[in-house]
Structure 1
Amino acid sequence: MISSKLSVILGLMLPGAWATSYSQIMEYAGQSFFDGWDFYGSFDNLTNGDAIFVSADQAESLKLAYVNDAGNAIMKVDNISTVAFNQKRNTIRINTKDRYDVGSVWITDMLHVPFGCSVWPAWWSQAPKWPDGGEIDTFEGVNQVTMNQMALHTEPGCTQVSPVQSSPLVNSTDCSFEANSNQGCVVTNPTTQSYGEAFAQAGGGMFVTEFASTGISIWFFPRASIPNSLQGNASSVDTSTLGQPVANWPNGGCNINKFFQPQSLIFDITLCGDFAGNAATFSQTCSGSCYPDYVVGKGSTYDNAYFEVQYVRVYGANGKNTTISAAPASISRPSTASVAGIAAAAALLGVASW
């Protein structure tokens, strides 16, 4: 039997070790998938994207957000309309009505993620009054990059210190929105199956985000590598059985209870904007100019700019309900990208990715 003293030591060593067992408290899936979400319903006045985030009624009438015949949620950029110069293209941004407190895990199983020149998708979370309350980016990329990036954005004082993670690609360690033009503390997933065309060709995959007082951790499993414990209708999850996370931000460098508040979960796809449309970033993987050569004109360039999501499930530690009901509409932060951050990441990876 492990002594109580040794248990304490192990608890300090392992991310999320104080609460590794979680029970399901919410599922967004099937025909009711969109019932628990708010649609932004305005142009992108958050990250300067050349996009209009449509309302729920518009999303339904324009077929930009719907459940397909397979029972999966589709969220997409308008790939049918011809957009005139000085106009923006319709797309989607949604956030959960409820928020989820420390002691939560959220899992999403996706078959396809948006990609292509000018496309900037994200699956992430934040508290209502950004940057107060923090932000967790589980999935984010731009244009034709080949690897997903994960990050935290917080008030000053949160850093990544001594992470226990599988990715060696640590782009930056200061999570403060005031540091490095709000780059955040970024970790890049080293597998190309984590983003874009290769993600889809591999049958998609699963992202697991643990929001624990001992630290924040993110796992990614390509379809062929999803653990048996997460397959099917898993009513519970034990994160201690999932192996090392791809990215980990332990409590030792960032007091989770101090810097993070209950999170609203968000899907969005914007176009160009501060990150994807930055000239230095855009030219890394795409030719021409972001807005005039892609957003303007026919929509067929956006045939791959969509999420296909089988479900989002949320779990509470030890069976506790960590839900904060009727969350106010989520607001966004300034762009997560910066010229300095892009250059630093590209230098780290040694390739033209960011």
Structure 2
Amino acid sequence: MISSKLSVVLGLLALPCARATPYSMVYEYAGPSFFDGWDFYGNFDNLTNGDAIFVDSTQAEDLKLAYVNDAGNAIIKVDNVSTVAFNEKRNTIRINSKDHFDVGSVWITDMLHVPFGCSVWPAWWSQAPNWPVGGEIDTFEGVNQVTMNQMALHTEPGCTQASPVQSSTLVNSTDCSFQANSNQGCVVTTPSTQSYGEGFAQAGGGMFVTEYASTGISIWFFSRSSIPSSLQGNASSIDTSQLGTPVANWPTGGCNIGNFFKPQSLIFDITLCGDFAGNAATFSQTCSGTCYNDYVVGKGSTYDNAYFEVQYVRVYGANGQNTTISAAPMSISRPSTKAVAGVAAAAAALGLASW
């Protein structure tokens, strides 16, 4: 099994800086066995009404939709070969980690390419087993031809973003409740066109860091040229206090992390159209025509850019804590109303053409 579990280091002394938050690597998804630690959804998209079929592991291998390339990187992609007839759906991938990761975890992914294009709705995110109980953390998400990544939390009512310490001033919404604003969530947009789509690829990709801590949830984004030296190479330990100001931050003051979040399963998925990308008002902002008829139907070459290329995913645990729940059962659930009208309205208020 290639994905190697490492023992959590126990009993380490605290670093001299009182605010330092040291973490040690507890799991790495990388190399030839990248996919060993994931479950494939194996069903049509009955979660967000996408025009997609999330294939199982056997189909993913046979169709070359999930594999490790010659460079040792994981490819997760939409079928860009088949011709899809009207009233049919296109094959794609959704995977979730077998293990769950509790408060006191950091997950890092280094990617060279992320999916983009009209009708494409990719995400790198996490959720607890019984959504919305236990919450959801969206680290990377976008639709169609937008140029900037969005980050969000989705929770039960009572969680808001209050007094964040973050570098992004593009706050789309602050109520994280799934019942508010058509489940828009509390959304922050990454103020960099290198964080999504073609701009991400042209910059050589980049790194997303998500800290799931009792003091709050924080997300950093580093384009390839700005990745800190402490995160380069085979970093077996990290200290988030050395990463600078996060792009997005949801402190526990507005949202009690212990009350609203439970152990998270990590997820990559790419769906097509659906409640967000296929929403007519959202789709027309960056694409012409009709989402399903003009893109999903027909030749697959439309989806030549609809893929993740992932160098690795690493999970770190707070020193002295066991934050990994091995092979936890996962009951997948997610409502069909995901950031549709609310995101478009908030974006318009901010003057963001992409939203």
TM-score using structure 1 length: 0.94
Counterparts of residues 177-196 of structure 1 (less than 5 Å): 177-196=178-197
Residues in 1 aligned to 2:291 and 2:185: alpha-carbon distance in whole angstroms: 24
Greater mean alpha carbon deviation, residues 240-249 or residues 331-340:
331-340
Residues in 2 aligned to 1:83 and 1:36: alpha-carbon distance in whole angstroms: 31
Q: Which runs of 4+ in 1 moved over 3 A?
A: none
State whether structure 2 residue 340 is matched by structure 1 residue 338: yes
Provide the secondary structure at the position in 2 that maps to 1:211. strand
2:282/2:340 contact within 8 Å kept: no
Q: CA deviation at 1:332?
A: 3.4
- Counterpart amino acid of 1:298? K
Look up the match of 1:304: 305
Look up the match of 1:5: none
2:168/2:248 contact within 8 Å kept: yes
Residue by residue, what CA displacement relative to the aligned partner does 1:20-42 show, whole Å, maximum 9, x if unpaired?
Answer: 11000000000010000000000
Counterparts of residues 1-354 of structure 1 (less than 5 Å): 17=19, 20-334=21-335, 335-348=337-350, 350-354=351-355
Residues in 2 aligned to 1:314 and 1:346: alpha-carbon distance in whole angstroms: 36
Provide the secondary structure at the position in 2 that maps to 1:45. coil
Greater mean alpha carbon deviation, residues 317-326 or residues 174-183:
317-326
2:347/2:353 contact within 8 Å kept: no
Residues in 1 aligned to 2:331 and 2:140: alpha-carbon distance in whole angstroms: 18
Look up the match of 1:14: none
Residues in 2 aligned to 1:329 and 1:51: alpha-carbon distance in whole angstroms: 21
Residue by residue, what CA displacement relative to the aligned partner does 1:34-92 show, whole Å, maximum 9, x if unpaired?
Answer: 00000000000000000000000000000000000000000000000000000000000
Residues in 1 aligned to 2:331 and 2:188: alpha-carbon distance in whole angstroms: 24
TM-score using structure 2 length: 0.94
Residues in 1 aligned to 2:275 and 2:38: alpha-carbon distance in whole angstroms: 25
1:22/1:319 contact within 8 Å kept: no
Residues in 2 aligned to 1:272 and 1:315: alpha-carbon distance in whole angstroms: 34
Residues in 2 aligned to 1:344 and 1:24: alpha-carbon distance in whole angstroms: 38
Residue by residue, what CA displacement relative to the aligned partner does 1:137-178 show, whole Å, maximum 9, x if unpaired?
Answer: 000000000000000000000000000000000000000000
Residues in 2 aligned to 1:112 and 1:338: alpha-carbon distance in whole angstroms: 25
Residues in 2 aligned to 1:222 and 1:62: alpha-carbon distance in whole angstroms: 31
Q: CA deviation at 1:331?
A: 1.2
- Counterpart amino acid of 1:347? A
Provide the secondary structure at the position in 2 that maps to 1:83. coil
Q: CA deviation at 1:330?
A: 4.6
Q: CA deviation at 1:341?
A: 2.7
Residues in 2 aligned to 1:319 and 1:194: alpha-carbon distance in whole angstroms: 33
Residues in 2 aligned to 1:198 and 1:248: alpha-carbon distance in whole angstroms: 24
Residues in 2 aligned to 1:197 and 1:347: alpha-carbon distance in whole angstroms: 25
| Structure with the higher fraction of residues in helix conformation | 1
Residues in 1 aligned to 2:327 and 2:346: alpha-carbon distance in whole angstroms: 39
- Counterpart amino acid of 2:102? D
Residues in 1 aligned to 2:321 and 2:32: alpha-carbon distance in whole angstroms: 26
Provide the secondary structure at the position in 2 that maps to 1:284. helix
2:78/2:93 contact within 8 Å kept: yes
1:23/1:319 contact within 8 Å kept: no
Residues in 2 aligned to 1:77 and 1:316: alpha-carbon distance in whole angstroms: 32
- Counterpart amino acid of 2:27? M
1:104/1:316 contact within 8 Å kept: yes
Q: CA deviation at 1:319?
A: 4.7
Runs of 5+ unmatched residues, structure 1: 1-9, 12-16
Identity of aligned residues (%): 85
Runs of 5+ unmatched residues, structure 2: 1-16
- Counterpart amino acid of 1:340? G
- Counterpart amino acid of 1:336? K
Q: CA deviation at 1:111?
A: 0.2
Q: CA deviation at 1:338?
A: 2.2
2:157/2:179 contact within 8 Å kept: yes
1:95/1:330 contact within 8 Å kept: no
Residues in 2 aligned to 1:231 and 1:211: alpha-carbon distance in whole angstroms: 21
| Counterparts in 2 of 1:166 and 1:347: CA distance versus 1, 3 Å | same
| Counterparts in 2 of 1:340 and 1:330: CA distance versus 1, 3 Å | same
